[in-house]
Chains A and B, each alone.
Chain A
Amino acid sequence: LVVVLSPLPRLRGLLQRCWGRLERGLLSGLFGSQSPPLGPALAVQAPVCLPQQVNDTGESSEAPSLLDSILWMAAPKKRRTIEVNRCRRRNPRNLIKVKTNIDVCPECGNLKQKHVLCGYCYAKVKAETRLIRMEIGKKEGGPLNAPPVETVVLYDGEKPTEKDEGKRIIERARKRPSWFVQD
């Protein structure tokens, strides 16, 4: 049974009344000694059937069965008042603590946590790395084609030095960023 709540309140009220009537019809008719009647799963702490039945079935022979142990389940005895609820929700243990480990990044001036990399600088480096990787992808042409040599990234107007003899060279068509130091 799928009950869909439409936004119109009158239709919703009608559906709720239909559902109630259906429930009452089910309860009154058939389920005496059978399994507990199906209903909303709002409070299932004890079986709906009578306790005498439990005594009849499980009294003599076996140890505390599942039916007995259901009756020992923990359940709230009284409603928690709003005053008690407020005391629990507002005590300093549950409030959010003020963080004292926030600093200013010396490079870009944004805020950063002391033990974490600056988000802005990291994003900046990540973008540039992504473009370099795209260039590498274009040069290799496919997966699993990485040559067994080192890679060197050269920007506008830079020539490979004698140190970069056997290395693979990746060209990037822009000025060298200040944070990417050349060896």
Chain B
Amino acid sequence: AGSACVRGLLGWARPERWLPSSTVSPLSCIHTSSSLPTVGKWEKKNRIVYPPQLPGEPRRPAEIYHCRREIKYSKDKMWYLAKLIKGMSIDQALAQLEFSDKKGAKVIKEVLLEAQEMAVRNHNVEFKSNLHIAQSLTGRGRYMKRIRYHGKGMYGIMKIVRCHYFVKLVEGPPPPPEPQKTGYDQAKEYVQQLRSRTLINTL
């Protein structure tokens, strides 16, 4: 029980988070918030190495996975921004986020700029504008429960919410948006489905 208590305490306290990333002392290279106890699945996606392509194959576009964990924002509110920039080119996404009034827009803009920088430096992307956003997702971070004090001695329990944000950039121009399904198309499909029915177990 004592060891479990201590592990719980360490899991909460995380002393490496208290110091900023750029500590001055040259002797002690203190690992700060960049090295978490478990590496997330999204970060591991950058490590996959494909076998070399055959001469005839079309060039595989570069994919860059980036994320930011434990953002102090709600995942539902962040989702609206993630939905906004899904499928856009990176320049357009940055423009939209710059003039959005939401708190998460600033965070996502930083993430996108970091990912763009990573792409050019590590992932052999030639033009930093030639990227588009293939996937952008939000996830729930760790919630904390606190007491919210009401009048007359009443209380409620409030959740302090945090979220993660994941983005996948792919090299190349953004794919053209698929045409909206009209009512006529849906009706045609329905009629086609009716026509293609057959009678089973008969001649």
Contact = CB atoms under 8 A, between A and B. Distances in A.
Given A5-B145, A96-B80, A96-B81, A40 B12 contact: no
10 contacts: A3-B147, A4-B147, A10-B5, A39-B154, A41-B152, A41-B156, A94-B80, A95-B83, A96-B81, A102-B95
Nearest to A35: B152
B147 A113 contact: no
A87 to B, nearest CB: 14
A4 B149 CA distance: 11
Q: Which 7 A-B pairs have the closest CB atoms?
A: A41-B154, A7-B12, A41-B150, A96-B84, A102-B95, A38-B153, A96-B80
B140 to A, nearest CB: 15
A99 B83 contact: no
B57 to A, nearest CB: 36
B18 interface: no
**A interface majority secondary structure:** loop
Interface residues of A, number: 22
Interface of B: 5, 8-9, 12, 76, 80-81, 83-84, 95-96, 98-100, 102, 145-147, 150, 152-157
B92 to A, nearest CB: 8
B84 to A, nearest CB: 5
B99 A38 contact: no
Contact of B80 (A3, A38, A95, A111): A95
Interface of A: 1, 3-5, 7-10, 38-42, 89, 94-96, 98-99, 102, 111, 113
A8 B152 contact: no
Nearest to A102: B95
Among the interface residues B95, B100, B102, B153, which one has the most CB atoms of the partner chain A within 10 A? B95
A98 B84 contact: yes
Contacts of A5: 145-147
B128 to A, nearest CB: 15
A159 B8 CA distance: 73
